[in-house]
Structure 1
Amino acid sequence: MSESFDVKLEAKTYKPDSSYMENSNIGDWETAYNRYLKDPDGFWDGIAKELSWFKPWDAVKEWKHPYAKWFVNAKTNITFNCLDRHVNSELRNKVALIWRGEEEEQERIFTYRQLHREVQRCANALKNLGIKKGDTVCIYMPLIPEHIVAMLACARIGAVHSIVYGGFGAAALHTRIRDASAKVVITADVGYRRGKHVPLKSIVGEAVVNAPSVEKIVVVRRTRPQVELVSEMEIDYYELLNEAGKECEPEVMDAEDPLFILYTSGTTGQPKGIVHTTGGYMVGTYYTTKYIFDLKENDVHWCTADPGWITGHSYIVYGPLAAGATILITETVPDYPDPSVWWKIIEEFGVTIFYTAPTAIRMFMKFGEEWPNKANLDSLRIIGSVGEPLNPEAFEWYHRVIGKSVCPILDTWWQTETGMHMITTLVGEPMKPGFAGKAIPGVQVDVVDKEGNPTPPNVGGLLVIKEPWPSMMRTVHKNDERYRQYWSTIEPFYTAGDLAVKDKDGYIMVLGRSDDIIIVAGHNIGTAEVESALVSHEAVAESAVIGKPDAMKGQAIKAFVILRLGYEQSEKLKNELIYHVRMSIGPIAMPSEIEFVSSLPKTRSGKIMRRVLKAQEMGIDPGDISTLEE
């Protein structure tokens, strides 16, 4: 995206009941934001002091563009704040974690004291395997309590966790294990999905071939009879924990010590390993959970994401636990055994904060109001959206049917790279369907043209972040040059890669990506990663993929494929290629459509012009094509 462009903006305004503002943890936006602008470091200093530190900071931040340090020289451990801090208070017997399996009778509940105990045993078990501070552990698991325990156990001993979403295939898992140099992989024999087994252990077995860093595979065995552990590398999770000591002191971590690597799709085919550190990430996720979600003592917080994505890291685990919340996780999918399952869970457990994706909301719209109407949703206080822009139609339905025209909607914009919420409409403030809102207090964002000048209202441009923030990524693993690109595209700002527009009131509407990323059901899929998977098939000479608007997923993937000589176009081959992508990357990256072509639009330097393909597909003007080869 090189030029600004006019956007026609029209939006209704919804004003929540005045009680939301009166009881808000943060107050009104203008007062809170001005408090931040008056003294940015003082603002974050105050938030950080609500948490526990083994040694205080010498300075709130040290900024040498494009590198930041936050809470300089401070010492802490994020699990001390997520667990010990509460265990040493009146919250010790408060419910920390509720888990619901795919079958209704499957339910497990952990108080803070019980979760603390499990994490310490798991941490000692990892130590017994030789894992120490700075080592990387890959976690590839279904959404079960052991997943959360394993994450926290890594952080307890200073090991860096790299979580890979359980829907990814062996090739995608292999790439991430190798890049992170993981020493241990923690998995389960199976995940459960729609009544079927997902064979996670066998996928790991395939993925660790030619991954020399891996020394052990730890397996949570769920099925009966238990699967056999066949190789010398495989160890039973529970047996390992039974042999481990019960107490494990938290490793003293510098605020800038790495906490985790999380891979997100890149435009080069190689996933980017986003590196987050301990102190700033802890402060950012705690702050946004407590003040942006407006967390209260009796809230039951349900974020429907998976820990394999940043939303799961920040708003299933670290933010809510640091803030002392009760979190709910479930292995259920939203429409199995029928589309009432999630609404019944909300009723049964009294969920008060519900955070999901626009894809899920649009799916529920398709099923109709009868399903949520089967449950009592009166416990809901705040409902949220994450992963992609929430279109006005979905906003209206979500607000009316799920929120009963009462609950504020937090339509949040942020990224894997930002670690925490950056833009939303604060609880109690007027909401505009289609608009995420404004920068949260603590953050400075703007919409600018390619020279970095702010665009006027109703004129679209590029979304930028103007100042560093605590939970910002520190680098891209093994590729610091890629990190610097975020801060050098439109200096001195951080360029998010999204197109956006502001209205006259300063509300921001995010329009979508400006680069080669497709957002499918809230998940970032790199065009190059899908293209690489297609080209790895013996029949494919070249490929290009684009995102197409999709009523359910937001975007669907369409692939254009040039075949090698000797291969014939057929429906059978199309299905084979779709299956090949599924096995290489995972179901989320499967093209919904494949078109066989004889050529692809390219620049004279050989770069595929995907926007030309997209324009042709959408029936719109492709804009400047002066660099097109033919």
Structure 2
Amino acid sequence: MTETTADPRGSYPPAAAFAATANAGQELYDQAAADRDAFWAEQAGRLDWQQPFERVLDWSAAPVAQWFVGGRLNVAYNCVDRHVLAGHGDQVAIHWEGEPGDSRAITYRELLAEVSRAANYLTELGLVAGDRVAIYMPMIPEAIVAMLACARLGLPHSVVFAGFSPTALRQRVDDARARLVITADGQWRRGKSAPLKEAVDEALYAHGGTPSSVEHVLVVRRTGIEVPWTEGRDLWWHETVTPASPEHQAEPFEAEHPLFILYTSGTTGKPKGILHTTGGYLTQTSYTHHAVFDHKPGRDVYWCTADIGWITGHSYIVYGPLANRTTQVVYEGTPNFPDEHRHWQIIEKYGVTIYYTAPTLVRTFMKWGRAIPTAHDLSSIRLLGSVGEPINPEAWRWYREVIGANRTPVVDTWWQTETGAIMISPLPGVTTTKPGAAMTPLPGISARVVDEMGEPVSHGETEANGYLVIDQPWPSMLRGIWGDMERYRATYWERFAEQGWYFAGDGAKLDTDGDLWVLGRVDDVMNVSGHRISTAEVESALVAHPSVAEAAVVGAEDPTTGQGIVAFVILTTEATDTGSALIEELKTGVAKEISPIARPREIHVVPELPKTRSGKIMRRLLRDTAEGRQLGDTSTLVDPSVFEAIRASKEAG
């Protein structure tokens, strides 16, 4: 590939050699603009349908869409079986790299056998289509097998990130009414085994010892640590799934059959169970993986560094890549074990050609220094991707120059748990990219940047920041919040109900060229290392401590994690310890209650919080304080002088 340099404005046109063989060209935009339904019907044709669909889209019950009406298909069949039947059974599907250094190469034929075994055993347990299964696992092959087995049987899965606490797990298990939990004895983290089965037991028998809906716990032996055991309920994977038959006939399901529930933070303390269905979701994940990453089956080695506990792992480790017959790397551990060279060693070992990671990790690599990646041969890489949050221009340039040798395209992708798949991104063979810009909606996607009244914002005016809305339904869109359709309507559709637009809380602006820049959250959800955490969840965990009377939490800019959690707490009159020991105790408590990801960066003890006359805490002003900015409008506060006391407390801390 020839080197591509920036033009005088700091943008990067695609290299001619890359564009000449790119999967997606300008014609895709033209096709989608000419006939949107026909465009999506063509993308759906990338899949095998056991029964063809009769209608592309039914939007008559908006805001709940039905895509590919009348069609029937099986997700696991599309991800595994059809590749084996087409003669690609010996192609490696997964190069799995364990943190301690163990590894496995799993072909599509072997993956099919493993998924079939798991499907047969789940059927033996009495699970039927529609039953829910919770998956609480590290990044091991059995986690992917479990997801595909559930998809094969029409069992909506709820994958819970293995870093979440027992309380968070229980909340999600109860909400989904899961009949089965699939987990592991433990997971490797920086050379040490951390228990998982123990956390499952704590979750299932929390709340005064009342068992949840779970009938069985299926356990993979990963670390070999001792685990608590309940006879009759707990089952070893190697004693049940491994001996099962490797033959299984996949049955098709309706395009709108529920595929998975994935919980994400909301502006209240209760997580939202985002529901995704089958045909539309798989169509858009397959299409976007093919077009955005320019993936060539049988030639590329793809690596998405996400965890299956997040939507990126669902869409761009499991479903999109496997539907496209990808050979991919799946890594169990952290990027700095045993040292900071680990990712680059993996890229060298497997000849990774497409690398998709988060801005947080890019900034971490920057902090570690360019000497580490430049000590390795990264010449196999031909495309880089970014996901999880807006990437700052400095990190974008470093990523391209140091990791991509100043020649690879960078696709900075905007999407959400709710959208299911990439919505806004450059096409690497078409788009002249700008560091930090999301650029334009993909072909088939329609988005706008509008003001509070729904009017278009002006191009290029820095003060004309607006709201990012999606004004047309898309195939991989969420179909609701599990068990709470009113919350679904209120959360995503109420703000622009008159126009019928989707809004999920991100701000954006348009530059003078009309290209789109995502500015991050405008609601009370923080984005820490690409993980969404609600202010309400953290505040609830803080107030649970007997010394805390009230708490307010904001996400403040952080050079590494994007946002860091900053908390302001008012102590009770009974609080005796007000010093560093209490602060540490509060931080640890939040990490235990929610996840280590949610551990506050700073906690400040203050005498009062800034409130409006209606009693609402003005987090916008607290964010100004946390980031050291001049305060915005304080006219609506009951007592504007409260900030003098907050500043004094912050400086003292």
Superposition TM-score tier, normalisation by shorter sequence: over 0.9
TM superposition shift of 1:626: 4.2
- Superposed, which structure 2 residues align to 1:326-341 within 5 Å? 326-341=327-342
Letter in 2 for 1:434: G
CA distance 1:225–1:497, shift in 2 (3 Å): closer
- Structure 1 residue 27 and structure 2 residue 25: aligned? yes
Q: Secondary structure at the match of 1:339?
A: coil
Asked if the contact 2:186/2:225 (under 8 Å) is kept, the reply is: no
**Which deviates further from its counterpart, 123-132 or 467-476?**
123-132
TM superposition shift of 1:566: 1.1
Letter in 2 for 1:438: T
- Superposed, which structure 2 residues align to 1:450-469 within 5 Å? 450-458=452-460, 459-469=464-474
CA distance 1:256–1:101, shift in 2 (3 Å): same
- Superposed, which structure 2 residues align to 1:65-464 within 5 Å? 65-104=62-101, 106-209=102-205, 210-224=210-224, 227=227, 229-297=229-297, 298-428=299-429, 429-458=431-460, 459-464=464-469
Aligned residue among 615, 622, 626 for 1:606:
615
TM superposition shift of 1:441: 0.4
TM superposition shift of 1:243: 4.4
- Structure 1 residue 488 and structure 2 residue 501: aligned? no
1:111-168 deviations in whole A, cap 9, x for unaligned? 1110000001001111111211001100000000000000001011010100000111
Structure with the greater relative contact order (CA < 8 A, sep ≥ 6): 1 or 2?
1
TM superposition shift of 1:12: 1.2
CA distance in 2, matches of 1:550, 1:231: 47
1:5 equivalent in structure 2 = none
Letter in 1 for 2:482: H
CA distance in 2, matches of 1:437, 1:336: 35
Asked if the contact 1:142/1:166 (under 8 Å) is kept, the reply is: yes
Runs of 4 or more above 6 Å deviation: none
Asked if the contact 2:187/2:196 (under 8 Å) is kept, the reply is: yes
Aligned residue among 509, 513, 523 for 1:501:
509
TM superposition shift of 1:223: 3.1
Letter in 2 for 1:155: A
Q: Secondary structure at the match of 1:20?
A: helix
Q: Secondary structure at the match of 2:505?
A: strand
TM superposition shift of 1:294: 1.0
CA distance 1:621–1:226, shift in 2 (3 Å): closer
Aligned residue among 581, 584, 601 for 1:572:
581
CA distance in 2, matches of 1:431, 1:164: 35
- Structure 1 residue 474 and structure 2 residue 476: aligned? no
Q: TM-score, normalised by structure 2?
A: 0.93
CA distance 1:246–1:226, shift in 2 (3 Å): farther
Q: TM-score, normalised by structure 1?
A: 0.96
CA distance in 2, matches of 1:45, 1:225: 50
2:645 equivalent in structure 1 = none
Q: Secondary structure at the match of 1:90?
A: helix
- Alignment length, in residue pairs? 618
TM superposition shift of 1:24: 1.0
State the Cα RMSD in Å. Answer: 1.4
CA distance 1:225–1:602, shift in 2 (3 Å): closer
Letter in 2 for 1:433: P
Letter in 2 for 1:315: Y
Q: Secondary structure at the match of 2:188?
A: strand
CA distance in 2, matches of 1:616, 1:465: 32
TM superposition shift of 1:20: 1.4
1:23-53 deviations in whole A, cap 9, x for unaligned? 111113xx32121011000000011112101
**Which deviates further from its counterpart, 479-488 or 353-362?**
479-488
CA distance 1:235–1:288, shift in 2 (3 Å): same
**Which deviates further from its counterpart, 457-466 or 301-310?**
457-466
Asked if the contact 2:198/2:227 (under 8 Å) is kept, the reply is: no
2:531 equivalent in structure 1 = 523
Aligned residue among 52, 57, 78 for 1:56:
52
Percent of residue pairs bearing the same amino acid type: 51
1:310-333 deviations in whole A, cap 9, x for unaligned? 000000000000011112101121
CA distance in 2, matches of 1:513, 1:191: 32
CA distance 1:469–1:441, shift in 2 (3 Å): same
TM superposition shift of 1:239: 0.7
CA distance 1:530–1:251, shift in 2 (3 Å): farther
Asked if the contact 2:566/2:626 (under 8 Å) is kept, the reply is: no
- Structure 1 residue 628 and structure 2 residue 637: aligned? yes
Asked if the contact 1:221/1:227 (under 8 Å) is kept, the reply is: no
1:466-524 deviations in whole A, cap 9, x for unaligned? 10000000001111112213122113211131111111222111111000011101111
1:558 equivalent in structure 2 = 566
Identify unmatched segments of 5+ residues in structure 1: 1-9
2:647 equivalent in structure 1 = none
Asked if the contact 2:193/2:223 (under 8 Å) is kept, the reply is: no
Letter in 1 for 2:257: D
CA distance in 2, matches of 1:45, 1:622: 51
Letter in 1 for 2:604: E
Identify unmatched segments of 5+ residues in structure 2: 1-7, 640-653
CA distance in 1, matches of 2:19, 2:221: 48
